[in-house]
Amino acid sequence: MRKPTDPLARLAGRVDWLELVMGFACNCRCRVCSSGFLDPQVRLSNEELATWLERGRKLGATKVWLGGGEPTLHEGLARAIERARSLGYRQVRLQTNGLRLAYPDYVAALRQAGLTEVALSVKGWDAKSHDGMLRREGAWELVGRAAANVREAGLRLEADVLLTTPLLPHLPGLVEDLARRGVERLTFWLVSLHGAPDDDAVTRLVPPLGGLRTPLRKAFARAEARGLAATSLHTPPCSLAAEDHDRYLHSAKYRLLVVVPGNAPFLAQESPMEGGEYPVEPCGKCAVRKDCLGLRTDQLRLFGAAGLEPIARAPRNRAAPPRARRRA
């Protein structure tokens, strides 16, 4: 009888980061998030968390990323962090809306468990815009307190900023604000319709790739002036200014394995969120195609390839991007 093949065998030696989507429960109802339609009861059990942490180490991962839903609603979070550190993970990253981190004792407990860094999700530029996007009054104030508590605890502070149409003109001011709050690293994420409600109100939040170049140039320049590392996800090089091409984060470079409750695990670059479409115009003559994940289907459906030109030459520093721009 043939021995069954291990479904994870294809991943051996290909994983640095393990992302655990701890569950779909959330204490916000973001207008663009799929967690709002998913069953909040669905989550990784404490046993599953322990098992995946062990599997991740066996596959070679040394960094773990705890996300959701909202991971701070999982009662096993501190235990999972402790477990990760005892298994030898060097970095433990918590990606969170920050509401629960407004309480210093909770931050101290996570630090004690071994947490190393926090990435706060930022979806607006002030209380009105952020609270409106999260549909949670007071969220902006709480995320501000969270930032202060994370810094006070000596943890590394990052911000994952969601790029939406209304936010783009406010990006430079937001970068300044986040720098003042002690954020060390920024990642700009382009909003997607994948998994989000397909209604006009949400569609209007999606900016065309061809309209990102100037606002992101201003934001990157402001980040550089303030000494912040800054990169962007889901923004192919043709949507960025030439000097920003090496800020594009190709998700395969994370070597990130994603574990979602109730689903088969997958590598980040295999997600439809990442792109996957290479229309002849502009991709046919593009010099960086092999280093690009292409365009998302929602972008093509909404905007085609308007404003995007093929890249004539690969950036010279792609093989060795400036250290400050790399994701650790």
Kindly provide the residue ranges of all beta strands, DSSP E only, lying in 135-271, ordered along the sequence: 156-163, 185-190, 229-233, 248-249, 256-259, 266-267
Residue type, 300: L
Kindly provide the residue ranges of all beta strands, DSSP E only, lying in 135-184, ordered along the sequence: 156-163
Give the residue among 295, 261, 273 at the shortest CA–CA distance from 23.
261
Distance CA 252, CA 291 (A): 9
> In the bound complex, what is the minimum distance in angstroms from residue 292's beta carbon to ligand SF4?
3
β-pair partners for 295: 277
> In the bound complex, what is the minimum distance in angstroms from residue 315's beta carbon to ligand SF4?
11
Distance CA 155, CA 118 (A): 7
Sketch the per residue contact string, 239 through 278, with ligand SF4: x for CB under 6 A, - otherwise.
---------------------------------------x
Q: Does 236 bind ligand SF4 (CB under 6 A)?
A: yes
Report the residue number, 77 or 288, with the smaller CB distance to ligand SF4.
288
Distance CA 155, CA 207 (A): 33
Distance CA 48, CA 14 (A): 21
Phi and psi, residue 252, nearest 5°: -65, -25
Region from 17-25, 129-137, 288-296, 314-322 binding ligand SF4, contact rule CB under 6 A: 288-296
Count of residues that interact with ligand SF4, criterion CB under 6 A: 15
Distance CA 294, CA 5 (A): 32
Report the residue number, 42 or 302, with the smaller CB distance to ligand SF4.
302
Report the residue number, 143 or 308, with the smaller CB distance to ligand SF4.
308
Sketch the per residue contact string, 292 through 321, with ligand SF4: x for CB under 6 A, - otherwise.
x-xx------------x-xx----------
* 69, 98, 237, 315: residue in contact with ligand SF4 (rule CB under 6 A): 237
> In the bound complex, what is the minimum distance in angstroms from residue 125's beta carbon to ligand SF4?
28
> In the bound complex, what is the minimum distance in angstroms from residue 270's beta carbon to ligand SF4?
17
Binding site for ligand SF4 (CB under 6 A): 236-238, 278, 282-283, 286, 288-289, 292, 294-295, 308, 310-311
